[in-house]
Structure 1
Amino acid sequence: MISRRHALAAAATLLWASSAWAEPTLGLAERRAIAAYRESRYPAQEKAIQEAAGSAVPVEVAWDQLTMPGDAQYYANPDYFEKTIFEPLAAGLKAIGTDKIGREALQAKLKAIRIRYDEKTAPASNYANGLRFENGVLDVNWRPFANVADFEDRVAAVTAVLEKTL
């Protein structure tokens, strides 16, 4: 039979071990860099997405998931967020809204956009697998700062998913 003291010691050891191997948290440099990005560059990206959608659709960005420890110096680089996530998303929405039917479908059915990055489920290159459109929410799960040259592939993925579901 295990004593209460031994059980508590074992639990404390497990808690310490799990925290030692937990995901790293963002440091001060990353928090400062993302705050600067959100203030200086992101408003133009959000505006471009909303203009492409044809309405002021809410854009929710999970910054804590998109920002990665050690990458603070890259956040202001257009290749980090803009060329890999925000600009292809806006271009895909714009492609959908090139005619009246597409604009009306976006305005009627697109209620929100959620942008995030989940390392376990984000695709490496099959970008359509990182998109879901359910209950009016377009969920974008793409890795920032990866495969920057795949701009057109990302645009095509957004367009294909929306054309199929709108």
Structure 2
Amino acid sequence: MISRRTLLGAAAVLATISAASAEGGLAERRAITAYQQEKYPALLKAIQDAAGFAVPVEVNWDQLAVSGDAKYYADDGYFGKTIFEPLAAGLKEVGKDDMGRQALKAKLKSIRVRYDEKTSSSNYLGSLKFDGGVLDVNWRPFANTQDFKPRVDAVVQMLEKNL
């Protein structure tokens, strides 16, 4: 059962996301809004379940939304399989035992998801940072969708090094 606090946190995150996605073209805004309403809540729940607590997740949709790709946003491979699902799987691996769950709760304060072409790397670990309790995920959406395991491994490596 999801706690009231978790639901309120998720609602606040979605409100922030909606405000952030107000920029960009109409097609992108519509597609992002549809994704946020239809697919993202289940992905956010999977991330928080994997972490073992309601870790705040800040998504910079304006950066993730590649102009002209709005028609692909609903595809599970666009955001889900390239960003959110590997993130959840990495958290689940780290939190597979009490020691991992306790470390996540003690040191992981939030997760930031974005895509900055200038600072992103084709090396998944190189596009992750952990600073001040914030796991920063800077992965390009809809790229190399077959690289699920390397993304999971990168999340695990980054967290295990910093927890």
| Aligned length in residues | 141
Match of 1:137 in 2: 134
Q: 1:39 aligns with which of 23, 37, 40?
A: 37
Aligned-residue offset at 1:26? 2.2
Match of 1:162 in 2: 159
- Aligned to 1:94, what secondary structure does the other structure show? helix
- What RMSD over aligned residues (CA atoms) do the two structures have, in Å? 0.8
Q: 1:153 aligns with which of 150, 155, 163?
A: 150
CA distance, structure 1, for counterparts of residue 75 and residue 119 of structure 2: 25
Match of 1:114 in 2: 112
Spell out the pairing of 1:1-166 with structure 2 (5 A cutoff). 26-124=24-122, 126-166=123-163
Per the normalisation by structure 1, the TM-score is 0.84
Counterpart of 1:147, as a letter, is N
Q: Which has the larger radius of gyration?
A: 1
Aligned-residue offset at 1:107? 0.6
Match of 2:7 in 1: none
Contact 1:117–1:141 (CA under 8 A) maintained in structure 2: yes
Match of 1:9 in 2: none
Contact 1:123–1:129 (CA under 8 A) maintained in structure 2: yes
CA distance, structure 1, for counterparts of residue 43 and residue 112 of structure 2: 14
Which consecutive unaligned segments of at least 5 residues does structure 2 have?
1-22
Aligned-residue offset at 1:132? 0.6
CA distance, structure 2, for counterparts of residue 64 and residue 121 of structure 1: 16
Per the normalisation by structure 2, the TM-score is 0.85
Percent of aligned pairs with the same amino acid: 67
After the TM superposition, which segments of 4 or more aligned residues of structure 1 sit over 4 Å from their partners? none
CA distance, structure 2, for counterparts of residue 32 and residue 142 of structure 1: 22
CA distance, structure 2, for counterparts of residue 29 and residue 49 of structure 1: 27
